[in-house]
Amino acid sequence: MFKYLNRGIIFVNKILSGKIVVIGFGNIGKALVRGLQLTAQDVEIFVCDRGELNPNEGYPEGLDFNKLNYLNYESIPNLKNDLFLTEKDTIIFCVKPQNFMEAVDRWKPVFLNNQDFPLIISILAGTPTELIHKYFSEDCPVVRCMPNIAATIDYSASVLCASKKTPKHYLNRAKIIFDAVGKTWIAQEEQLDAVTGLSGSGPAYIYMVIEAMADGGVKMGLPRQLSIELATQTVLGAAKLVQDTRIHPAVLRDQVTTPGGTTISAIHELEKFGLRPMLISAVVTASERSAELAKIVEEKIKDQK
């Protein structure tokens, strides 16, 4: 964990010269704050959430509560003059889509009290940048991000896209922020549903693969814990080999497939029962559902307006 301690911290601090406000302190919000504390040590970070913080309940190792500026939802309307935000500052919405409008209503007076709008980053699933512009300002820079749960251990696969009206340097700022919790790519917004189906939901598919492999080990007589650890390390090592060598997975598969051996027999079974078509279908189905949810979210937000 904390693999980014040796980053170019001076460079990061130069780019992230303003305040960062994280709205919503769930898994991704906590991960971002922890990652930013390690990589952008001079940046002033604010956290806004419901209730009071309890350092003893479910917060990631390494998160320094003494460096947090915590804001309760109820106090936001009084921040208009105390938290003056400009184009150097960033607001990251880590709330659920159904809580989006409440967050917008509370924060509008704070960051729309001048013409130097901060960067708005949203990790809301199914909420396009065009819709976000409508509820803040047409002139606000807006970036949308799809991270995944591995952000909690600094291994997120995050994909960013900017609205058509957002200058590129804001997208670069967003990339530096999410690089603090993993690897980050930039894509077109129309690709975000596919990203959701692949990397956003993808960890769940891999958990099922690990579980199934471990069950196979148990069926063949291995102790449960050993079987889980072997399956986990096998998936981790295989993924690392693809990442480090950049060799196509099919080529690497052939390297461990001996003619007439155990692996080709197993591959035959996987092909017979349709492992590849099932995984492809999983990505397609999740992507299509993401697009459906985008329409549902847009209608709900319109109704609430």
Which residues are annotated binding-site positions?
A: 81
State how far the Cα of 89 lies from the Cα of 184, in Å rounded to an integer: 20
SS (H, E, C) 140-190: CCEEEEECCHHHHHCCEEEEEEECCCCCHHHHHHHHHHHHCCEEEEECCHH
Q: From CA 65, how far away is CA 61, in angstroms rounded?
A: 11
Q: CA 12 to CA 269: how far, in whole Å?
A: 49
CA separation, residue 17 to residues 34, 40, 87, 239, 252 (Å)? 17, 9, 10, 35, 44
Residue matched to tokens 């985008």: 294
Taking each continuous run of H as one helix and of E as one strand, the counts in the chain are 11, 8
d(CA 266, CA 262): 6
Kindly tell me the sign of the dihedral angle through the C-alpha atoms of 220, 222, 227, 231.
negative
Q: Which of 25, 137, 26, 39 is nearest to 85 (CA)?
A: 137
Pick from 46, 45, 57, 64: which is nearest to 2 by CA?
64
Question: Which residues carry a binding-site annotation for NADPH?
Answer: 81
Cα–Cα dist 303/305, whole Å:
6
